[in-house]
Each structure stands twice: as structure tokens, then as C-alpha cells.
């Protein structure tokens, strides 16, 4: 079968293209060739977390892979039959565990395989969703589509040392469903905070600021603050809500200073008042591109990641999509090509 060629410098031009392309390749069995990987980044090519994600996936689908090394700007991925596996992996850096799971969760489940994985790396690091976002937001959205997994955060891992430990069990999908996520109705939210090597009073101050913003906007919020030992100092905050017509999360981490973290996360949560948040909007594309009939969701903005994923999914699967402008945001429609 001839490879589908993907320009890795298109759209947002980052790791998202690699993740989406190899995920869909594994599920559909169609080989892909990705060129110009992370072309416009400060350090072009594959980084350790991209490398491990592809490497684990290649074990699961017995793929032949060319160009799989750090700084590689071209990768060829030829998938084969999937396997049920029990693996232990170590990124070796504070590379993002949640970004690796973005590859593995839909791929394994939609290949109708199972995976038990223990992985060491970064649980809450820059330029990535937090592990709590994966555990409480992504898990909810994917379960509505028909993709199920469990996530146990055994130890937190912050930048630069990492050392976090996450265990996940991914189950084979038995059926896929369309979704309709249009507008948040609930006024109930949950706030989760994990921190390490930071004074408790500073953390509580940020949480109080976040709570005040939520209160002013009419939200009843349950709060959980937990001190967890990690190799580096760090703090992670997630605010999320679910209802029948929305799945929304807003997260953030400590970077050099804690000041402003609570306010930033709370304001982003309030602004995300449609069906999904900005980050979830692009994570939904890969599975929905393989679901028969049309799914629809609304989001405040169209991000580069969303545009990129829509393009990659349509090129590999042949799915159809459309974006409509609303007064307060955008509506995304995706019609998949096959029910796996």
C-alpha cells in the first residue's frame, strides 16, 4: 500500500502532526510518511517524548518505522496487526506523559486491543495538558465516543527532572458514538490542585483567587488541594465541569512563579462556556473522523492545533468536516468514514 505523505511543517507545525498521523495510520492500517517534522521549531525534528510515543505505538501495531531517532525530520510508519501488551516505559526526561497518551489511547482502543502501561516522565509540564486534565476531562469526552481507559497518577513529575509515574489501562472499543456538545448548562465545577516543594499558604492564596472568580460568575465549586512529593517544585491546577451538552476543563502549572496561576486558570474556565474547551476541540478530531454519521461541537476559538488535526484526519481517513461561525464562537461538524 502506498504511503500517505504528510508535511510536518503545515499548520501549527509541531508534534501534533506526528501524534495524529501515526495514530490514524495504526488504526486504519495505512502507512504514512511525515516530512519536515517540527520544521519551524527552535530545535527541529523529533524530541524524546515524540520518539517514545511512536516507539510504543510501533510495538503495539508491529510497525516498521524508518527515521525514528532524536532530531529526525522525516519518519516513515508502516503499521501491521495489533497486539495486546503489558509495558513499562521511561521517557528519560520530563517529556510529557499526557502527550504520549494522546497517541496511545485512541490508537489502542480503536484497533480493538488492550494495553496496560506504566510510564515514567513528566506528568505536569509546559506545552502539554496536565495529567489531571487527561484523567478528568479527556477521559469523560472519549468515554462518550466509546473509548475507555483508566489513569492512575502514582507520582508527580515536574520540569526539569520529571520522574513522575503514571499507570494506564486502555480497553478495546466495542462501539463508537457520535457526540453533540453545544453549550455548558451546569453551574457546578471541581477544582483540583496538586503541589510539591511550594509553601502551602502561597498555593492556598492562588486557589482562593480562583474560587472568588468562580463565585462571582455563579459557579458552585468543590475544591481538593493535595501536597504530593516530587523531585522538583511544582504546582498543577485543574478546573473542570461536565454536563449532558458540555465537557470543559482549564488547567495550568507553576512556571517560575505561582502568582497569577489561579486567576489564569479560572478565567479560562469561565470563558469556555460552549460545548468544549480549546484543547479538547482538537483531541476529539482523530476518534470522530472514524465514527459514522455526524458529530458536532462548539468552541470559542479555532486553534492551529484544531485546523491541523482536521486536515490530517481528512487526508488519512477521507472524513468530511465543516466549521461555522457563531455569534460567540464556532461550530465544528465532523462526518466520519467508517465505524471501527
Catalytic residues: 305
Q: Would you tell me how many other CB atoms lie within 10 Å of the CB of residue 234?
A: 27
Angle between helices 15-28 and 97-110 (to 10 degrees): 20
Beta-bridged to residue 175, according to DSSP, are none
Taking the C-alpha atoms of residue 172 and residue 111, their distance in angstroms, rounded to an integer, is: 7
CB of 106 within 8 A of CB of 149? Answer: no
Report the SS3 class of residue 247: strand
Helix/strand/coil for 38: coil
- Which stretch of DSSP H or E encloses residue 194? strand 188-196
Count Cβ atoms below 10 Å from residue 20 Cβ, excluding itself. Answer: 28
The CA angle 289-292-295, to the nearest 5 degrees, is: 65
Q: Could you tell me which of 95, 154, 103 has the C-alpha nearest to residue 124?
A: 95
CB distance 319 to 335 below 8 Å: yes
Longest pairwise C-alpha distance within the chain: 60
Question: How far apart are the C-alpha atoms of 98 and 249, rounded to whole Å?
Answer: 15
Spatial separation of the C-alpha atoms in residues 298 and 325, rounded to whole Å: 10
Strand partners, 166: 119, 153
Residue 254, φ and ψ in degrees, nearest 5 = -65, 130
Amino acid at each position: 500500500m502506498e504511503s500517505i505523505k504528510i508535511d510536518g511543517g503545515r499548520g501549527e507545525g509541531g508534534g501534533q502532526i506526528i501524534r495524529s498521523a501515526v495514530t490514524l495510520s495504526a488504526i486504519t492500517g495505512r502507512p504514512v510518511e511525515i516530512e519536515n517534522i517540527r520544521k519551524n521549531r527552535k530545535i527541529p525534528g523529533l524530541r524524546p517524548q515524540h520518539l517514545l510515543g511512536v516507539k510504543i505505538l510501533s510495538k503495539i501495531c508491529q510497525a516498521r518505522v524508518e527515521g525514528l531517532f532524536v532530531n529526525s525530520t522525516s519518519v516513515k510508519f508502516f503499521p501491521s496487526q495489533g497486539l495486546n501488551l503489558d509495558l513499562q516505559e521511561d521517557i528519560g526526561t520530563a517529556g510529557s506523559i499526557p502527550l504520549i497518551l494522546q497517541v496511545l489511547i485512541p490508537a489502542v482502543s480503536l484497533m480493538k486491543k488492550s494495553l496496560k502501561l506504566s510510564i515514567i516522565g513528566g506528568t505536569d509540564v509546559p506545552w502539554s495538558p496536565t495529567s489531571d486534565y487527561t484523567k478528568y476531562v479527556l477521559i469523560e469526552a472519549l468515554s462518550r465516543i466509546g473509548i475507555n481507559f483508566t489513569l492512575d497518577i502514582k507520582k508527580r513529575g515536574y520540569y526539569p527532572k520529571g520522574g513522575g509515574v503514571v499507570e494506564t489501562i486502555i480497553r478495546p472499543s466495542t462501539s463508537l458514538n457520535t457526540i453533540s456538545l453545544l453549550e455548558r448548562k451546569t453551574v457546578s465545577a471541581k477544582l483540583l490542585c496538586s503541589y510539591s516543594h511550594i509553601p502551602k499558604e502561597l498555593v492556598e492564596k492562588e486557589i482562593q483567587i480562583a474560587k472568588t472568580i468562580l463565585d462571582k460568575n455563579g459557579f458552585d465549586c468543590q475544591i481538593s488541594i493535595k501536597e504530593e512529593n516530587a523531585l522538583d517544585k511544582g504546582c498543577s491546577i485543574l478546573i473542570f465541569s461536565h454536563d449532558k451538552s458540555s465537557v470543559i476543563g482549564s488547567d495550568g502549572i507553576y512556571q517560575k512563579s505561582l502568582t497569577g496561576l489561579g486567576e489564569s486558570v479560572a478565567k479560562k474556565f469561565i470563558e469556555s462556556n460552549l460545548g468544549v474547551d480549546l484543547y479538547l476541540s482538537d483531541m476529539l478530531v482523530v476518534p470522530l473522523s472514524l465514527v459514522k454519521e455526524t458529530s458536532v461541537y462548539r468552541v470559542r476559538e479555532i486553534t492551529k492545533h484544531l485546523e491541523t488535526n482536521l486536515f490530517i484526519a481528512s487526508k488519512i481517513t477521507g472524513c468530511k468536516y465543516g466549521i461555522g461561525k457563531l455569534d460567540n464562537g464556532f461550530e465544528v461538524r465532523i462526518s466520519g468514514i467508517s465505524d471501527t
